[in-house]
């Protein structure tokens, strides 16, 4: 599972000139809500798949032995969701070069309520309460060139 967040300013995505528009679209902020919706309403993804694709698999691929699972000795990295809530995706994703989102206004089942990284609360009741570097950055092994 991967997300290539690639935001562009409006002038870089001309309405009538698809062949010359920059490739990609904003969407990193939509990855977890879209996958969570797949678990809760679409049935095309299981909760175990969601954990494997967004936590366990990336931790293994990037050599992060303290990440990817809730277990004694691992970092306290947690995302708490409310399966009964609804998320409505923003028309203009965060970021200086994000003109618009193809997911704008889409209503999804479930909502992220709390995010904890290394024991530090980053999001509480759906709102950020700490900066992006709170909780530190993980050390990782060198990933081999493909």
| Catalytic residue list | 4
Cβ-based neighbours of 40, under 8 Å, separated by 6 or more: 83, 109, 110
Query: Which 3-state string (H, E, C) describes the chain?
Result: CCCCECCCCHHHCCCCCHHHCCCCECCHHHHHHHHHHHHHHHCCCCHHHHHHHHHHHHHHHCCCCCCCCCCCCCCCCEEEEEEEEEEECCCCCCCCCCCCCCCCCCEEEEEEEEEEECCEEEEECCEECCCCCCCCCCCCCCCCCC
């Amino acid at each position: 599972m991967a997300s290539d967040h690639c935001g562009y300013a409006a002038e870089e995505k001309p309405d009538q000139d698809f062949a010359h528009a920059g490739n990609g679209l904003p969407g990193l902020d939509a990855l977890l809500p879209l996958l969570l919706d797949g678990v809760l309403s679409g049935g095309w993804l299981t909760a175990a798949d969601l954990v494997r694709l967004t936590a366990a698999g990336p931790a293994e691929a990037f050599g992060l032995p303290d990440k990817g699972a809730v277990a004694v000795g691992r970092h306290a990295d947690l995302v708490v969701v409310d399966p009964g809530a609804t998320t409505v995706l923003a028309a203009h994703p965060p970021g200086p070069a994000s003109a618009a989102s193809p997911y704008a206004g889409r209503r999804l089942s479930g909502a992220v309520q709390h995010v904890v990284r290394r024991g530090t609360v980053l999001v509480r009741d759906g709102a950020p309460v700490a900066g992006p570097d709170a909780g530190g950055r993980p050390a990782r092994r060198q990933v081999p060139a493909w």
